[in-house]
Structure 1
Amino acid sequence: MKKQTVWLLTLFSLMVVLSVYYLNQSGDASFLTLSPHQSEVPTTQTPDASTGEVDQESSGELTPSAMEDDLFSFVRLEMSAKRGERLEQLETVIAGENVSSEEKWQAFEEIDRINQLETGEIILEETLKSRYSFEDVLVRTLDEAVVVSIKSASLTKADANNVMRDLYDELGPVRVEVKHYPVESS
């Protein structure tokens, strides 16, 4: 088997084992969906290209659940597995004998784009964690938006605006959603 296939299967197996373990520990799957008394209203902000100012549309909090400690790790693992599958597909295209040089070049460019995206997300996460002393930060780049999930004891509107400005400075005018996952302060 290829080294990447073994790695992917190992990550998938780990994900399944952890999921079963936490389901058995918590007794329910409430961490997967919001229960009726919980609400999640993401902070969605769009920077104004002319001024760099950020318009705040709404804000909200997600009530903590038993799985929040590992939720960010689980999402990171899932994103990594999906990207790993796509990278393997692209490497197969590059290695293919009956593939045109243009298709190989496009596959190579997509591999480079995925690697840059992943590196950029990691850098943004670490920068935001250190700059604002958040417990954890998860940055996900989706097709139409960048979703920033922040785990901290509190998140003020000023902090959310500062995060938005940081992303605007780094990525340019993109739609950004900030989601807050509160934790008990120690």
Structure 2
Amino acid sequence: MVLKRQTVWLLTMLSLIVVLSAYYLTMPNMQDQEALGEEEEPGNDLEMNMDDIDEEDVTFIEIEEVEDVLAEGDFFSDASSVNEMFDTIRLRRADSRARLMTEFMEVFHSDGAASEVQLEALDRREALETLGQKEENLEELLRAKGYDDALVIAEENMVQIYVKADELTNVETVEILNLSRDHLGIEEIRVGYQSEN
């Protein structure tokens, strides 16, 4: 079956809408934890330690129970466990990014597009690919640190990190924040956890 370009574009946009809708539906159910860090002077050590963070400045995000998330909409209707939920989000993110990369390459190879537009499309594709690789590397690093699973969702100016754990201490949170800053270079970071229960 051969799909027309408009059909592929429409399916791409619909899947992107589904992903973003699920994201915004689940956001009110989470407590935000943003990385609180002051601007460091050049030459100072960039590592944060527990002395830099007050107990009241740190809150933890816990993804609501899977059943609560499933009740929000059809996005997770095929996910019956935390593992499947993480995998579903990861697969849909990869699918959405693959489609965006394809669109960027179509613009790049387009004869009718201006050279500036073609170069911008190529740059955006490469930036998206690099961001995806950094996310995967950070997820692997967090799993190597002992977490059962990790999900990193990076955008241009914000990163959300969810780990599968029964609880997350302040020390572990600071370690995740530092790893994220080192690997992604993004300052606004939210850290959360989800237990199997």
Tell me if both proteins adopt one fold, taking TM over 0.5 as the criterion: yes
Structure 1 stretches of 4+ moved >6 Å: none
CA distance in 2, matches of 1:179, 1:63: 11
State the number of aligned residues: 157
Q: Which residue is 1:178 aligned to? A: 191
Q: Which residue is 1:111 aligned to? A: 125
Q: Which residue is 1:40 aligned to? A: 30
- The alignment status of 1:62 with 2:76, answered yes or no, reads no
* Structure 1 residue 70 displacement after superposition: 0.6
Aligned letter for 1:49?
Answer: E
* Structure 1 residue 59 displacement after superposition: 2.0
What SS does the aligned partner of 1:149 have?
Answer: strand
Equivalent in 95, 100, 107 of residue 114 of structure 2: 100
Gaps of 5+ in 2: 15-23, 67-79
* Structure 1 residue 44 displacement after superposition: 1.9
CA distance in 2, matches of 1:129, 1:49: 29
What SS does the aligned partner of 1:155 have?
Answer: coil
CA distance in 1, matches of 2:103, 2:181: 32
Q: Which residue is 1:22 aligned to? A: none
Q: Percent identity?
A: 19
Equivalent residues in 2 for 1:139-154, closer than 5 Å:
139-154=152-167
Aligned letter for 1:89?
Answer: E
Provide the aligned C-alpha RMSD in A. Answer: 3.0
Gaps of 5+ in 1: 13-31
Q: Which residue is 1:75 aligned to? A: 89
- The alignment status of 1:126 with 2:127, answered yes or no, reads no
Q: Deviations over 1:29-74 (max 9, x none)?
A: xxx967xxxx632332133231633644422433432432211111
CA distance in 2, matches of 1:103, 1:63: 42
Q: Deviations over 1:10-37 (max 9, x none)?
A: xx9xxxxxxxxxxxxxxxxxxx967xxx
What SS does the aligned partner of 1:112 have?
Answer: helix
Aligned letter for 2:36?
Answer: T
CA distance in 1, matches of 2:61, 2:107: 44
